[in-house]
Every structure is written in structure tokens, then in C-alpha cells.
Amino acid sequence: MVNFTNFDFDQLFGFSDDSNPLLMLIWILPIILFVFYGQRIQLLVTSGEIKKGIKKLDGYRTEARTELIDYVKKNMNPKEDPTKKIDRFLDYFTIMPVDMDPNGIVEKVRHIVRAREDYSRNHVKSLSPETDEIELSKVITLLEIATSLHMIYKIINHMYLTAKKQNNYPLILPLQMILPFIMEEAEAITKAIPVFKLGQPVGDGIGPMVVGKMMQNTKKELVAFQTVVSEKEYDGRKLVLLKPEGPGSTVGRPGDAVETIIAKNKPDIIIMVDAALKMEGEDSAITAQGFGVAIGGIGIERFQIEDIATKNNIPIFAIVIKQSIKEAITLMTKEIANQAENVRSQVHEMIHENTKTGQSVLLIGVGNTIGISQ
Amino acid sequence: MFSKEKIVIAYTTENCKSCNMERKRKFKEGDYLFAETFKCNSCEGTMQIEKIFGEPIEK
């Protein structure tokens, strides 16, 4: 039987006088190796993982491109092969304005973003001018998906190749840290492709879903580009309902719409309903109430609404429905869809608490309205 | 030990505007929220799409 209380440590580690020089080498060699080549070994191990990620990203962007070309060929029936034109669209870039002097920068960003949107729409439409607006909005969204995946692949691949070229381990560290987040986002974007092709509602559409239902049996009018408004009475209050025009894939232009509405008739409060990113550990499809402009994007719509509301001294209330990035851009889950009725009753409660009879409320459903009419 | 792959199936639920009867079926291309679909089987009222959502099933 082995006696565990009586080990000879000198003998075990080869420290006794009659130790074998070969054993000493076995100890010393790895130490020397790790001191001088540790970073390179780490670089090799890490780059193997990153390479796998980049291969996946390449697969996602190829899939998005192929799906887009097939969809255009099948649904737009273009006279010429659209492949060349689509490939050119994928490489389009946007140069953001100089921010050394931030005065007026939002206007400049809006101008550049709108110009890009208009250009893309006109050029996609030129592939087949007879295409209807709903189909066109789906193609534009699929083009945005393909462009995003193409850009993600190019940036990550560039960072990886630069670190490899310079044999620079610290350069690869930030890439290793952000890659899991990038992969999660890229996977979610790829999974959104079939949803947009079929015209199904996404999690982000919960705002338009809530307001769309309230717009039933009212007269709808186009108030801004791809944005509709209608009016109805609720318990002695005037409700002005605003949402992107569905069931195409669009978020509309709520900023312009709010400007037009307020110029005609100033509401007493604004309520915004939108999807919001949940924190890790938070349950999906829970709702929360707060204050301020609940709207995503790069900030131009938010700035515009905040500006008008401040000038006119209108309080803004918000109701958000929490979800993950994947849930926001893929098929709406049952849990999120089931929250619509609850959010409507919260809106009614909010109206009662914050307005009196005879006052008016502007209710805005924010988000992508794919698969959601009004 | 290994999580099973989940497939998401899209469903559409329709409600009758008159008698509130609810019907759940698989999503068909062309369905969108608040579209009026068929006549209600029980009261001849109009059915309207109320929800479209995905439900995961384990493979």
C-alpha cells in the first residue's frame, strides 16, 4: 500500500545530488520557451479560434448575398442580371461629417443618411421599376443585412490579418474580446433574412403592433415619408396615433411626422412605445415605463423629437418592451406578441394619469413595421 | 449535456370581429397583422389576424 505521508520531494522533483541532467532540462526548457515565445504561442492558439469565427462570418455574408440576389431575381424580375449592381451596393460606404465643431452636426448626419437611403431606394427600384413599395422595402432591408454582414467580415478580417502580419499579440487581444459579441450579432442578423423575406413581424415591431391595432377603423393619412397618422377619441381625450406605414419593412420618419403634427396641433403629452434591449439576466418581454424619447438608430430622429418637445414644453413618456438583439430582429416571439394587450392597457392608464378630459395625446409606435398593417 | 437544436415554427392567430372566436394556424406567406382573412365558421363574421409569432420546438 502507498504511504501518502512519506513522500521524498527531492527525489520526486529530481533535486537530489544524483539527479538526472535530462530531468533538469525537461524542467528548464519549457520555462525558457514560455519566457521568450509565450506571446507567439498565445497568438497561435488565439488566432486559431479567431480564424474559425472569421470563417463563420464569411459564410454568413455569402449566404446573405446569395439570398439577396435570389430574392431580387425571383420577386423583382429584373431585365438584366442584378449581380453586378448588388455587388457594387455591398461595398458602398458612408463618411460621417467632421465632428471637430459639433455645431449643426445632426443636420449634416441627417442629410448624409437620407441621401444614402434615397440613393439606395432609387437604384434598387431601377432594377425593376414596376416593383411595389412593400417588395421594394423588403429588398432594401435585405440589402442592408447583406451590407452589414459584408462590412463586419471585412473589419474583423482586417484586424486579424494586421495582428498576424505584425506578429503582434496585444493587437489581437481586443479582437478576441469583442468577437463573441460580434458573432452573436452576426448570427442574429443572418437569422433575420428568412423573416424579412416572408414579411413576418419582428420583435422590434411591438410598438407599431400596439398602435396599429388602435388605428383600426380610423382614417389614416400619410404625414411623412412611410409614416401614417390617424385620430380617435378616447374617454374625452383626442388621441393622435402615429406609426410607420405597414406592412412593408420600414421604420418611417417619426421625427418629420412629429414636426408636422405639432405645427398643426400641439398635443399635451407624447407617449412612445418601443422595443428596448434587455440586460443580461433580465427576462424577455417584460415592460417598463419611463421618460424621454424611446427610439433607437443613430440619433437623428431622437434629436428631432427632443428638440420639438423641448421648444413646445411637451412632456414625453415611454413604455418599452424588453428583448434581446436576436429577438428584436427575428420573428416575434409568443411572449412579446402576448404583451401587446398589456401595453395597450398601460397606455390607457398613462393617458388617464397624465391628462384631463379635452386634452390631446400623441401616441407613437416606434420600430420596424414589417408584417404589421394599421 | 448538449442542448438540442430548436426550430422556430411561425403561427398566425385570427380572431372573429363579431363573436371573438380565436383560431390558431401555421403562418402562410402573405399573412400580416390586422389583415381580414376568412368568414368566421360560427357566426359568419370577419376573421382578422391578431398575432403572428414564433414558437420553438426541440428537434
Tens digit of each residue's pLDDT (9 = 90 or more) over A112-148: 999 999 999 999 999 999 999 999 999 999 999 999 9
Sorted by where each begins, the domain ranges of chain A are 40-198, 203-365
Q: Which three cell numbers stand for residue A18?
A: 544524483
Q: Where does the pLDDT of residue A264 fall: very low under 50, low under 70, confident under 90, or very high at 90 and above?
A: very high
Let me know: does A318 contact A274? Beta carbons within 8 Å: yes
Residue B17 placed within a domain: yes
Smallest CA–CA distance, residue B12 to chain A, in Å, is 10
Which residues in chain A have their CB less than 8 angstroms from residue B55's CB? 334
Share of chain A above pLDDT 90, in %: 79
**DSSP at A204:** G
Residue B33 placed within a domain: yes
How many CA atoms does the CB half-sphere of A311 hold within 13 Å? Answer: 11
pLDDT over 60 (residue A2): no
CB burial string A350-368: b at 16+ within 10 A, e below: bbeeebeeeeebbbbbbbb
Residues 6 or more apart whose CB falls under 8 angstroms from that of A332 comprise A200, A201, A202, A203, A205, A206, A209, B52, B53, B54
Let me know: does A196 contact A249? Beta carbons within 8 Å: yes
Q: How far is CA A86 from CA A3, A238, A252, A286, B3, in A?
A: 75, 46, 24, 39, 38
Smallest CA–CA distance, residue B41 to chain A, in Å, is 23
pLDDT over 60 (residue A252): yes
Residue B15 placed within a domain: yes
Residue B1 placed within a domain: no
Mean pLDDT of chain A: 93
Task: With CA atoms as reference, report the closest residue to A347 among A284, A276, A272.
Answer: A272
Q: Where does the pLDDT of residue A14 fall: very low under 50, low under 70, confident under 90, or very high at 90 and above?
A: low
Q: How many Å apart are CA A241 and CA A367, to the nearest integer?
A: 14
Smallest CA–CA distance, residue B6 to chain A, in Å, is 13
pLDDT over 90 (residue A105): yes
Task: Report which of residues A29 and A224 the model is more confident about.
Answer: A224
- The pLDDT value given to residue A17: 57
Structural domain boundaries, residue B43: 6-58
Q: Which three cell numbers stand for residue B10?
A: 411561425
Give the ipTM of the model, two decimals please. Answer: 0.92
Neighbours of A337 (CB within 10 A): 24
Q: Which three cell numbers stand for residue A297?
A: 438608430
Overall average pLDDT of the A289-298 stretch: 95
Residue B54 placed within a domain: yes
- Phi and psi based region of residue A134 (left: phi greater than 0; alpha: psi -120 to 50; beta: remaining): alpha
Give chain B's domain count: 1
Tens digit of each residue's pLDDT (9 = 90 or more) over A26-78: 888 889 998 988 888 888 888 898 999 999 999 999 999 999 999 999 999 99
- The pLDDT value given to residue A19: 67
| Euclidean distance between the first and the last CA atom of chain A, given in angstroms as a whole number | 82
Overall average pLDDT of the A163-174 stretch: 85
Q: Which three cell numbers stand for residue A248?
A: 412593408
pTM of the model: 0.89
Q: Where does the pLDDT of residue A215 fall: very low under 50, low under 70, confident under 90, or very high at 90 and above?
A: very high
Which residues in chain B have their CB less than 8 angstroms from residue A374's CB? 34
Overall average pLDDT of the B2-20 stretch: 86
Overall average pLDDT of the A314-330 stretch: 97
Let me know: does A337 contact B52? Beta carbons within 8 Å: yes
**E-only strand ranges, B1-59:** 6-16, 22-26, 36-39, 46-58
What CATH number has the domain bearing residue B20? 3.30.1330.30
Q: How many Å apart are CA A127 and CA A82, to the nearest integer?
A: 7
Share of chain A above pLDDT 70, in %: 95
Tell me which residues of chain B have a C-beta less than 8 Å from any C-beta of chain A: 8, 10-11, 27, 29-35, 51-55
Give me the residue from B11, B27, B33 closest to A372, CB to CB.
B33
Highest mean pLDDT among A11-20, A79-88, A203-212: A203-212
Is A247 at the interface with chain B, CB within 8 A? Answer: yes
Tell me which residues of chain A, numbers 254 to 293, contact chain B at a CB-CB cutoff of 8 Å: none
Assign A370 to helix, strand or coil.
Answer: coil
Which residue of chain A comes nearest to B8, CA vs CA? A331
- The pLDDT value given to residue A44: 84
Q: Where does the pLDDT of residue B2 fall: very low under 50, low under 70, confident under 90, or very high at 90 and above?
A: low
- The pLDDT value given to residue A18: 58
Using the structure block, give the residue that is written with the C-alpha cell 426541440. B58
pLDDT over 60 (residue A89): yes
> At the fourth CATH level, which superfamily is domain A203-365?
Peptidyl-tRNA hydrolase (3.40.50.1470)
